[in-house]
Amino acid sequence: MNEMKWILSHIYNFLSGIFVASIGYFLPVLGMIHLVIIAITIDLIFGIVAARKRREGIKSKKLWRTMYKMIISVIIISLAYSMDKEIGMQLQIHRFIAWMITGFEIWSILESAGEITNHKLFRLLQHFMEDKVKNVTGIDIKNDCNENNK
């Protein structure tokens, strides 16, 4: 019985140690993770404002999708970082993944900013970004994003 008491009284210390060790391991990508979370949050805010301007209701389903997107993005960046670090290759895939996620969020923010303000600058930046991504990668952002929002 004394062993069980000892284990239960020290479980918090053990779990705290694992938590702190995990934070230390992922510390080099913490800035990237913060950037992705901030970009997704800003996109959510701009999307809500744009929806209100269109007089559309805000659906909890879309809010939950945003939360899932945020959590999954953090997990994917973390796993890619672990893969890059532990395999020892210099590909740095985690940086590319964070760049892609943040880039799509910026594109979506520009789209919402264009709807909110009806200012040409945001639409021009959005088209410039679409053309640049299509020329460099062959990805058609506009079509791909519209398919994902259904």
At 49-95, the pLDDT tens digits run 999 999 988 888 888 999 999 999 999 999 999 999 999 877 899 99
Percent of the chain with pLDDT over 70: 95
Give the dihedral of Cα atoms 20, 22, 26, 30; nearest 10 deg. -50
Burial level of 8, CB count in 10 A (0-12/13-18/19+)? Answer: exposed
Rounded Cα–Cα distance for residues 62 and 104 (Å) = 17
DSSP letter assigned to residue 126: H
CA distances from 28 to 7, 18, 31, 96 (A): 33, 17, 7, 15
| pTM listed for this prediction | 0.80
CB 74 within 8 A of CB 37: yes
